[in-house]
Structure 1
């Protein structure tokens, strides 16, 4: 009897340990990119680059506390698959509680709900070291330190589901500031900056609306421009500031295998107080001269009906930044097209080509890119 009781206790212990064990997951994504240089004051160059496209490693887990309540946690680090930069850049990390009926509360560092909306529509997300996705030219792709986030449970509505996400940030500093893999907001109170989104998912379409309030972001981004070219355009217009951004997204699935995706957003500068004097010197004058920014995209993906491992895709994105004091608008446009070959749920290869156009008054720049890559998820 004692032996049976001991065996039962050991079995219960190991079963509990296995159940509570964390899950290791991640992604390694690397591409070979060709970005030719067309130089103004020196000879043109053929430039090949190996890019790490948002490769990361994560650990997550949960512990059931009651029939409805679980403790949850997760932590992610970005790393350089090509070895060009430091490993273990901070990504999302949190600890929280999940109630199956009331939703999930997380505390830590996290993508804003507005940023999460773009994953539904940004077809070339993370390509060319994150410079060919919409984050290359649009405001609003942000991860914020010192947050409390809420994720609602899915609510059934007319053959679809509704989900609400919200994030409150605590500034904990005298101004906004960049951080490892993210940013810190200004202020001392919880909710001095916030972000929220509402999404409706239906078998035939997805619609979402989100808003950022005083979330630090980059205005007048430069996309996948090869900055070593010495061309006429420089980064003088680019600025980092707390932004108010309204973003709307939509995805339509009119026939099997086809998805049409779109996004529209408008942003304005809310705050240009910086915690770091160096950042104030670098960004303040530029940010104070910004009036607003308006961006949009349209794209499509199509799975070939007789060869379902092949996916064709294309996307056009544009962002116009307007300035005060009669400065000319800064216009950025990206055109991307490509194809994926899906080996399995974990592995795919891809090829793409793109073209970036930047313009402000008589300053113009153009940058082509072509590349091939391999993505492995685990």
Structure 2
């Protein structure tokens, strides 16, 4: 009886509270992928895979404090619909203040502003467990621990809006180097706030979007092999983890209704930081680019067809030949509602250095549900 009374009291207080309830949201995305392999030096290994593609669960909320000021919070956790990995790795999470006139300050763990620039232009974002998008071959797709982020308000100009974002990070220990935390994020080097930082500026208009981003000493992966299904690669090039200085430029054009043309260009240099892989000292630079298009079929608004080509070339300070990664993907989406869609795709990737070349075709289909 006492337990029932206590529970009733808690529910009564919660429902009568002036505080806004948090919003529960998330996404479940799983796909069936076929990755045949042709090896020159070992037996072929065709693989069928069930992949979880950035499935996550989150809570967020906003509480009005004054006429213009609100407290804001968000926390997200990744889970794996295929059951292959341990659930609840960390995604964005923060607490902060937002002013309608001056913007928002957030403290916690967050995507870099440069990373967020890829979302409007990467049509195959998160496909095949994040290996088919630019994360698989380019630097710059990072979420950083121990950060303060400032997001500007939208500033109207000539029919569009300017937005800016700045992230500053601390490694919290001067003697500690960069590291992958193996929980969905990276730690920067150094103990000062601003030892590593990222910023972006974008302008969105009904006809186009342009954006510019910069990372300073943000830990990232160089020499990515994308979705390559191989235990014995021809190129013999290993991925390198190092702090990176990266410049990224994006553009999206909508010349006619239903059609979006997309592009991205970036260049990265290794920043000399403690914790870099030893092989990083030999990397000169990494240059990547992307072109793509999406078209919503007229009179068939539930259907969208899309195509994308991306490439990244890494050069070395020694006499080593450049390492080139190239990916071509074609696909189609059918949206039942804004929350649910089914999709299919096919693609081909190559990873080469001099005469050594790895080749990887792929085909798959998946279902995405947002809530």
Alignment of 1:207-286 (within 5 A): 207-228=210-231, 230-236=232-238, 238-274=239-275, 283-284=277-278, 286=279
Aligned to 2:204, which of 187, 191, 201?
Answer: 201
Contact kept? 2:74, 2:94, Cα under 8 Å = yes
Contact kept? 1:38, 1:231, Cα under 8 Å = no
* Alignment correspondent of 2:142: 142
* Alignment correspondent of 1:359: 352
> Secondary structure in 2 aligned to 1:191?
coil
Residue 341 (1) aligns with residue 327 (2): no
> Secondary structure in 2 aligned to 1:129?
helix
User: Number of matched residues?
Assistant: 358
Aligned to 2:184, which of 174, 181, 184?
Answer: 181
Alignment partners' CA distance in 1, 2:313 and 2:131: 17
Contact kept? 1:309, 1:342, Cα under 8 Å = yes
Alignment partners' CA distance in 2, 1:12 and 1:82: 40
Contact kept? 1:131, 1:224, Cα under 8 Å = yes
Using a 3 Å threshold, how does the CA distance of structure 1 residues 172 and 377 change in structure 2: closer, same or farther? same
Relative to total residues, which structure has the larger helix share, 1 or 2? 1
Contact kept? 2:303, 2:332, Cα under 8 Å = yes
* Alignment correspondent of 2:98: 98
Offset from partner CA, 1:212-249 (integer Å, 9 cap, x none): 00000001111100133x2323343x211110000000
> Secondary structure in 2 aligned to 1:249?
strand
TM-score normalised over the length of structure 1: 0.92
Contact kept? 1:31, 1:51, Cα under 8 Å = yes
Give the CA deviation at 1:264. Answer: 0.4
Alignment partners' CA distance in 2, 1:43 and 1:138: 29
Alignment partners' CA distance in 2, 1:176 and 1:13: 43
Give the CA deviation at 1:12. Answer: 9.7
RMSD of aligned alpha carbons? 1.4
> Secondary structure in 2 aligned to 1:44?
coil
Specify every segment of 5 or more residues in structure 2 that has no aligned partner in the other structure, as ranges. Answer: 1-10
* Alignment correspondent of 1:161: 161
* Alignment correspondent of 1:132: 132
Give the CA deviation at 1:326. Answer: 0.9
Offset from partner CA, 1:34-79 (integer Å, 9 cap, x none): 0012233443233100011011110101111001111100000111
* Alignment correspondent of 2:29: 29
Alignment partners' CA distance in 2, 1:344 and 1:101: 34
* Alignment correspondent of 1:89: 89
Alignment partners' CA distance in 2, 1:248 and 1:113: 12
Residue 317 (1) aligns with residue 318 (2): no
> Secondary structure in 2 aligned to 1:30?
strand
TM superposition outliers: structure 1 runs of 4+ over 4 Å = 10-13
Alignment partners' CA distance in 1, 2:367 and 2:197: 36
Aligned to 1:192, which of 195, 198, 201?
Answer: 195
* Alignment correspondent of 2:3: none
Contact kept? 2:189, 2:273, Cα under 8 Å = no
> Secondary structure in 2 aligned to 1:311?
strand
> Secondary structure in 1 aligned to 2:307?
strand
> Secondary structure in 2 aligned to 1:190?
coil
Alignment partners' CA distance in 2, 1:211 and 1:188: 21
